[in-house]
């Protein structure tokens, strides 16, 4: 599956091989993970109601010193699949600019998109697939895989990808009718 990264979550962590004697263990075989989380001041809260993560290996072309450089880039991905009660999306390699993505990894927050009524049926299109959701009171962060025509509805209206699929925009209408 080819996935373009439009947005990432707040929560970052890494894992390294167990061989701490290798002075390059944090660079050579490390893995970096990204997930939904909520920041309260300097404190990160994992309020997962739908646990999941995106994994970047060193071989994928990800540079942990500049994580936002992956925004707008496309990756060959395995998954998403459910493992150990979490949704996993593994980015295996960075793709060239001429390769068209099939799906888009997007991130929604209440500050940008308004309130989402998660308990209401039809708050997202059938093609939208959740990767990770953190929710606490009125605050949330949602990481989801979407197709070019998929949407997520908030109290402001339905959110879709822009015409060039580079960002989220508020849409006047959604395919398949109103939620």
CA–CA gap between residue 11 and residue 124 (Å, rounded): 23
Q: What is the pLDDT of residue 177?
A: 47
Q: State which H helix or E strand residue 27 sits in.
A: none
% of the chain residues with pLDDT over 90 = 66
Question: Strand 52-57 to strand 86-94: parallel, antiparallel, or no bridges (unpaired)?
Answer: parallel
Mean pLDDT on 105-112: 94
pTM above threshold 0.85: yes
Mean pLDDT on 35-54: 92
Mean pLDDT on 21-47: 81
Q: What is the pLDDT of residue 82?
A: 94
CA–CA gap between residue 142 and residue 41 (Å, rounded): 19
Which of 43, 56, 58, 48 is closest to 13 using CA atoms?
56
Q: Is the predicted pLDDT of residue 117 greater than 70, yes or no?
A: yes
Q: What is the pLDDT of residue 97?
A: 84
How confident is the model over 45-69, as pLDDT tens digits?
A: 889 999 999 999 878 888 878 888 9
Q: What is the pLDDT of residue 18?
A: 63
Q: What is the pLDDT of residue 152?
A: 95
CA–CA gap between residue 6 and residue 45 (Å, rounded): 23
CA–CA gap between residue 56 and residue 62 (Å, rounded): 6
Q: Is the predicted pLDDT of residue 28 greater than 70, yes or no?
A: no
Mean pLDDT on 151-155: 94
């Amino acid at each position: 599956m080819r996935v373009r990264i439009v947005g990432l979550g707040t929560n970052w962590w890494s894992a390294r091989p167990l061989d701490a004697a290798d002075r390059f263990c944090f660079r050579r075989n490390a893995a970096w993970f990204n997930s939904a989380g909520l920041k309260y001041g300097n404190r990160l809260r994992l309020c997962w109601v739908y646990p999941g993560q995106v994994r970047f290996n060193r071989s994928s072309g990800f540079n942990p010193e500049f994580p936002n450089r992956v925004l707008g880039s496309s990756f060959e991905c395995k998954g998403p699949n459910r493992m150990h009660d979490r949704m996993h999306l593994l980015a295996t390699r960075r793709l060239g600019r001429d390769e068209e993505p099939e799906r888009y990894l997007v991130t929604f927050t209440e500050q940008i998109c308004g309130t989402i009524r998660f308990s209401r049926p039809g708050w997202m299109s059938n093609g939208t697939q959740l990767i990770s959701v953190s929710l606490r009171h009125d605050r949330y962060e949602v990481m989801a895989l979407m197709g070019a025509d998929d949407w997520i509805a908030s109290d402001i209206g339905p959110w879709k990808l822009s015409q060039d699929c580079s960002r989220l925009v508020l849409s006047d209408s959604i395919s398949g009718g109103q939620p």
